[in-house]
A = this chain, B = another copy of it.
Amino acid sequence: MNITIKDIARHAGVSTATVSNVLTQKKYVSSNLEQQVYKAIKELGYRPNVYARNLKTNRSHIIGVHVPDITNPFFSEGVKIIQNVAGNEGYQIILYDSDNNLQSESKNFESMLDAHVDGIIAIAPRINIDDLLKITDVPLVIMDRPPLKTDRNVAFVYADNYHGAASVADYLIGKGYTRFYCLAGPIKIVSNAEARLSGFTETLKRHGIPEDACEIHYGDFTFDSGFALMKEVLKNYKPEGSAAAAFISSDIMAWGAMEALKEQRLKMPRDMGIVGYDNIYFSSFLYPKLTTVENPIREMSINAANLMLDALERRQNLSGFSVALRSALIVRKSC
C-alpha cells in the first residue's frame, strides 16, 4: 500500500487541500501548518502520484524526443542537451529512436500521442509534417529541417543546408577540383539531404561545371552506407592527380567512405578530396582531419528546448517561430 496525500493530511492534522497547497505553492498556507506538512512528508517518505496529478491537471511534464538514430553522435549530442535544459525546468524526456525508418517513425509519433506527452521535439524527422499536424495539436519543434509556412503550433530550428552545401561547392571549385562525387542522403524523404545535394549541384552549374562532371550516389547517412557507396564509386575510379573530390552528406557517412578509400590504399586528399557535413565532435580526429560544414547541433538543441519550454510554461504559441542558424564551412585537411 502506497502513501497518499490522505495519509499526509491525517498525519499532519490538516486537509488534503492544504497538503496540496503547500506542495503546489498555489495558495498561501500559514508557515505553521506548512512545517507540519513537510514534516509528515519526510516522515512517511511521501511521493506524490504523478498520474493522479497529471490526470487532474492534464499535463505530464514529459517531452517526446524523436531521433532517427541515437547511435549517431550528432543526434545523441542533441538529445543530451535537450535533456539537460528541459530537465532544469522539471521536464523529462521520452526517447524515440526510429532507426532511420519512416514507418517506425510514424509509429513513434503515434506512441508519443498515446503517451500524452506535453510537446514533441523531433530531430530531423522524415514524416510529412502536415500529416503529423492532422493528428495532433501539441506544441511541436522540428529541428534540422527547413521551415514550413503554417499557422499551427509548430516552430522550426534549422541551419541553411542549401547554403552550407553551396559553400562547399564554391570552396572545391576554388581549390581547382574539376571532377565531383556526391554521396547524398535519402533526398526523397529527408529534405536536408535534398538541400545539401541541390545546394551543391546547382552551385556547380552556376559556375559552369558540366553536369556529367558530378556523379551522384544515394545512401542513408550511416557509416555503412558511406562505406558501400564509396566502394561503388571506386569500382571505376582512376585517381588523376588530385582532380576529384567527394562531397558527402554526413560526417559519419564520410567516415565510412574514408574507410573504403583506405581499404584500397588511396590517400586523401591526394587521390580524392573529401568534404563531410555536420561537424560532429569526432570529425577533427579522423585522418585526415575532415573538412566539413558546421551543423550547429548545440545551438539548435538549446533553441529547440527553449522554444518548447516557452510553449509549455509561458503558453506561447509556436506558430511562425523559426530560428535559422548559420552553417559555416570548416576547412581542415581532407581536401
Tell me the A residues contacting B by CB distance below 8 Å.
45, 47-52, 54-55, 60, 62, 69-71, 73, 76-77, 79-80, 83-84, 87, 92-97, 99, 111, 113-116, 135, 223, 255, 259, 281-282, 285, 287
Contacts and interface: CB of A to CB of B under 8 A. Distances in A.
Given A50-B116, A54-B51, A116-B49, A71 B80 contact: yes
A103 to B, nearest CB: 13
B55 A83 contact: no
Nearest to A93: B95
Contact of A47 (B96, B113, B255, B281): B113
A94 B92 CA distance: 7
Given A49-B55, A49-B116, A76 B70 contact: yes
Q: Which of A69, A77, A285 has the most CB of B within 10 A?
A: A285
B71 A114 contact: no
A146 B97 CA distance: 29
Contact of A73 (B62, B71, B84, B87): B71
A48 B96 CA distance: 20
A265 to B, nearest CB: 13
23 contacts: A47-B113, A47-B116, A49-B116, A50-B115, A51-B51, A51-B55, A51-B60, A51-B116, A55-B55, A69-B80, A70-B70, A70-B79, A70-B83, A71-B76, A71-B80, A79-B97, A87-B111, A92-B96, A93-B94, A93-B95, A94-B95, A95-B95, A223-B281
